[in-house]
Amino acid sequence: MTSAVAVDLHVSIGALRLRNPILAASGTFGYGLEFAHLIDLNRLGGFVTKGLSREPIEGAPAPRLYPTPSGMLNAVGLQNVGVRAFVAEKLPVLRKIDTAVIANVFGYSLEDYVEVIRVLEDAEGLAAYELNVSCPNVKKGGMQFGSDPALIAEVVGAARKAATKRPLWVKLSPLVTDIGLIARAAEGAGADALTVANTYPAMAVNVRTQKSRLGNQTGGLSGPAIKPITLRLVWEARKAVRIPIIGLGGIETVEDVLEYLAVGGSAVQVGTASFTDPRVSQRLVEGLEKALFEAKMFTVNEIRDKFIAENG
């Protein structure tokens, strides 16, 4: 018997069934199409698009990326083509691909989020929405939506009303005092799943030039450096809610994937690792199948069930 027939990699994120639990993360995989000549997109569990906003955004000044020990800083400034151009130009091509495409949505006000979803609701070819709530709310003095339970409930509630056609995932900020509180607020307002988590606000400076290493001065830290911190957030969030959790932060190897699944992730996303190896997500699908077969586990959920039985 070969591993291909013995191991069932399918996972369910609420009503959405994915071929396997490996997705490519928002902002690190373009609109998916950029990777079509490098990997077989149909082998992935799915991918999340670059964040989409109401209007096109040019983004932050260069430099936008800076390597750090075991990680990377980025300040891309949420550059994107805008939701209408995405629907007109990218979605028609994406529809030909047989994998789950999740649209990452962001805004600087409640109305922005609702408008982006409204435009996407009229289009075919998406599997779910992922709400990025790590954005400053311009109407509330720049406070992040994702760090206040009342604000998160408000934005998720409004998005939920607009998103009648598709599941709504909410991508949490890691910069919170109590992830359980935030996770429960999102669940209570109608989220179908949580993505845990985004990058960690950070900075790097060049003392010789007396300048920040990033054009935007500060940015977000990602990569292996954040993995142990985010792993705990997934563990804590899982204890707080019943909806599925998608874990991400610093995943590079099959071992990393297994760790996120063990602490309660129903699926994972791969971000920064795609910069050094654009084929990493497909490689991880193949590696996960092999690893499960060797461990004599035949479904993905067995990893979590085993770990939770041991650790509560």
Residue list 42-61, contact with ligand FMN (CB under 6 A): 50-51
Find the part of the chain contacting ligand FMN (CB under 6 A) among 9-17, 74-82, 115-123, 175-183.
Answer: 74-82
Closest Cα to residue 259, out of 229, 290, 303? 303
173 near ligand FMN (CB under 6 A): no
90 near ligand FMN (CB under 6 A): no
DSSP E strand stretches across 77-198:
100-105, 128-132, 168-172, 193-196
- 135 given a catalytic annotation: yes
- Spatial neighbors of 42 by CB under 8 A, at least 6 apart, are 97, 98, 99
Of residues 52, 135, 246, 292, which has the active-site annotation? 135
146 near ligand FMN (CB under 6 A): no
Q: Which of 46, 223, 247, 265 binds ligand FMN (CB under 6 A)?
A: 223
* Cα dihedral 192→274→18→1 (10° resolution): -150
Q: In angstroms, what is the minimal distance from the CB of 293 to ligand FMN?
A: 25
The SS3 of residue 234 is: helix
- Residue whose CB is less far from ligand FMN, 148 or 252: 252
- Residue whose CB is less far from ligand FMN, 7 or 148: 148
198 near ligand FMN (CB under 6 A): yes
d(CA 192, CA 186): 9
Q: Which of 22, 44, 78, 116 binds ligand FMN (CB under 6 A)?
A: 78
55-77 b/e (C-beta count within 10 Å ≥ 16 → b) = eebeebeebbebeeeebbbbbbb
Residue list 261-300, contact with ligand FMN (CB under 6 A): 270-272
- Residue whose CB is less far from ligand FMN, 68 or 301: 68
Residue list 124-143, contact with ligand FMN (CB under 6 A): 132
Closest Cα to residue 131, out of 148, 114, 147, 119? 114
Calculate the CA 270 to chain-centre distance: 8
Residue by residue, DSSP assigns 263-284 as TT-SEEEE-THHHH-TTHHHHH
Find the part of the chain contacting ligand FMN (CB under 6 A) among 86-94, 182-190, 218-226, 285-293.
Answer: 218-226
- Residue whose CB is less far from ligand FMN, 76 or 83: 76
- Spatial neighbors of 278 by CB under 8 A, at least 6 apart, are 35, 38, 39
247 near ligand FMN (CB under 6 A): no
- Spatial neighbors of 29 by CB under 8 A, at least 6 apart, are 35, 47, 48, 49, 50, 274, 281
219 near ligand FMN (CB under 6 A): no
Extract the tokens encoding 8: 């069932």
Residue list 152-171, contact with ligand FMN (CB under 6 A): 171
d(CA 86, CA 99): 17
174 near ligand FMN (CB under 6 A): no
Query: Which residue number has the CB closest to ligand FMN?
Result: 27
Which residues lie near ligand FMN (CB under 6 A)? 25-28, 50-51, 74, 76, 78, 104, 132, 171, 198-199, 222-223, 226, 248-251, 270-272
The catalytic residues are: 135
